[in-house]
Amino acid sequence: MDKLIVKDVDLKDKTVLMRVDFNVPQDAALNITDDTRIKAAVPTIKYVLENGARRLVLMSHLGRPDGKRVDKYSLRPVAQRLSGLLGEAVNFLDDCAGNEVKKAIDSSKERVILLENLRYHPEEEANDADFSKQLSSLADIYINDAFGTAHRAHASTEGVTHYLKAAAGLLLEKEIKYLGDALINPVRPFVVILGGSKVSDKIGVIENLLPKADCIIIGGGMSYTFLKAQGKQIGNSKLEKEKIDLAKNILEKAEELKKEILLPIDHVVVDNIAKDARYEVVGEIIPDGKIAVDIGPKTIALFKDKLRLAKTIVWNGPLGIFEMDVFSKGTEEIAEFIACLKCVSIIGGGDTAAAVSKFKLEDKMTHISTGGGASLEFLEGKILPGIVALTDK
């Protein structure tokens, strides 16, 4: 990687400003229901503390307060949880910029400080130069470990880098390494699995990966627009009419490039989408009125046959309505199969990551991206503003 990483910089006696992604889910009583994101930042936090930093100032957003102070989006509960995870006190400040904040940091008895929600200030998302300067004045050096917001040019992800030396944290470095290597230098055969609900969400990913991959497997809701483009009967399954031509173009382009695209050959279908709906397996023809909610057993076997030989797999998008247990079989069987393969397996996309974690296979994948939207933009080949902005090596 051509950008500075935390291991390249001298942290001794420095005050470090670090952007993390503490945008955690909470219940109505504001209890944190999943602390994966807090845990994910701990290695870099520990690294900074163990390498002599004097103070570590953490900043993040939580939810969408839209530039106003909204109590339910306070990061205070996160400070408490983080303190438990680190085994040391965390000083929580109830704002993120200004003189009072600066003074509180300079006199903090605790070495770890968490600032209040960045998005209480509209200047954060507007990437305001003054606000960026204020944030940067809080510290000597900046580290970005928030891959989940790296696709946004905000004050805390891009603006600050104009005023401070900027390095990637360990989590960000790992994301760039795995996603980047898979795209730039994949060990072949390189198979991409695309699923999820909509073709329109994934066009950029298909167009970027079609020339790079050896084979693209398409399942889930988006596959029915492709099947329709081939003239197949898809019943009432998910269809984006205005994307049929685009799907045709992609299929033609794949042929030109001699790239294989695999589509489902049988389906689990229902009359209406409900947990307790009566379901049946049908072949290539989906009868009128029926909705396909999962790939069928022949498709699972077909996809496995292709994946068996893969040396790199990138997977974005579930292959059925996995949130309902009865329709999660296709996604689960493919996930379990990949988990047993000796290959590089990379999972991108919020729902795909949630599916893998639902099946308790997190530890069996090479890399599960922590950034939903950011991982998609990375797979689309876009340059992420939070990454380009880091200081060059």
Give the Cα-Cα-Cα angle 50, 52, 55 (nearest 5 degrees): 100
Q: Which does 44 bind (CB under 5 to 8 A by kind): ligand ADP, Mg ion, none?
A: none
Q: Which residues are catalytic?
A: 37, 198, 350, 373
Interaction between residue 373 and Mg ion (CB under 5 A): no
Interaction between residue 197 and ligand ADP (CB under 6 A): yes
Interaction between residue 377 and Mg ion (CB under 5 A): no
Residue whose CB is less far from Mg ion, 343 or 376: 376
Given 65, 221, 235, 386, the residue binding ligand ADP (CB under 6 A): 221
Given 159, 264, 296, 349, the residue binding ligand ADP (CB under 6 A): 349
Stretch near ligand ADP under the rule CB under 6 A, chosen from 13-21, 130-138, 304-312, 343-351 = 343-351
Stretch near ligand ADP under the rule CB under 6 A, chosen from 121-129, 316-324, 360-368, 384-392 = 316-324
Given 169, 186, 220, 371, the residue binding ligand ADP (CB under 6 A): 220
Q: Which does 352 bind (CB under 5 to 8 A by kind): Mg ion, ligand ADP, none?
A: ligand ADP
Stretch near ligand ADP under the rule CB under 6 A, chosen from 16-24, 146-154, 181-189, 193-201 = 193-201
Interaction between residue 351 and ligand ADP (CB under 6 A): yes
Residues 319-358, mask of contacts with Mg ion (x by CB under 5 A)? -------------------------------xx-------
Interaction between residue 385 and ligand ADP (CB under 6 A): no
Given 19, 55, 174, 238, the residue binding ligand ADP (CB under 6 A): 238
Chain residues in the site for ligand ADP (CB under 6 A): 195-197, 201, 220-221, 238, 292-293, 316-318, 320-321, 323, 349-352, 372
